[in-house]
Amino acid sequence: MPDIGNADNKTSALDKECSQPEAVMLCNTSLHVLNALEACEKFKIEHGNVWIVITMPPLTNPENIYPILKQGNWGRVIWIDDRPRISRGWRFFLGLWYQYKYHRKWQSQLVSSKKVRRIFCPLNRLVMNRFVVNWLKPRQVIWYDDGTLSYVLARQMAFSSKKQ
């Protein structure tokens, strides 16, 4: 299997030359990549004008997402690794330094997409998705749901209404 790229590499094996994307699509799972494909069809956006940013939750295998990524001819695929953890004691300052370097790394990969017209983001409450969306400052944020959050929110509302 070819190299699928990671946050240490500025590009992945799927990258093409696309200096300014029409849209950025955040994906955390292979289902979100399918949502991105559907969004391209719905909004009539060519895959080559889309940057896919993959922020994977911990313990997720990146090889599961690769076959679905190959279905689109994306402008660029950017992989963002897990955030470094902040320790206690004197290592706290070292953790802050690692977090600073971590954020600068993904920001340097996305800098030419600042103020992109549209960003598509999964509706799953992952903090890293919020970081990327707020940093890019798009004109329009479009949320897509993989179906799992609807169930969680409905369940939370059902239990919260019983408490009242």
Q: What is the pLDDT of residues 27-73, one digit of tens each?
A: 988 889 999 999 999 999 999 999 999 987 766 777 888 898 999 89
**Could you give the CA distance from residue 88 to residue 48 in angstroms, rounded to a whole number?**
44
pLDDT tens, position by position, 101-125 = 877 888 888 888 887 899 999 887 7
What is the predicted pLDDT for the residue at 5?
Answer: 41
Q: What mean pLDDT is reported for the chain?
A: 78
Residue 123 dihedral angles phi and psi, to the nearest 5°: -90, 75
What is the predicted pLDDT for the residue at 7?
Answer: 38
Domain 23-163 has CATH 3.30.420: no
The token pair at 40 is: 């391209």
For the chain, the domains span 23-163
DSSP string, 63-113: GGTHHHHTTS--SEEEEE-PPPPP-STTHHHHHHHHHHHHHHHHHHHHGGG
Torsion angle of C-alpha atoms 69, 143, 156, 160, degrees rounded to 10: 170
What is the predicted pLDDT for the residue at 36?
Answer: 94
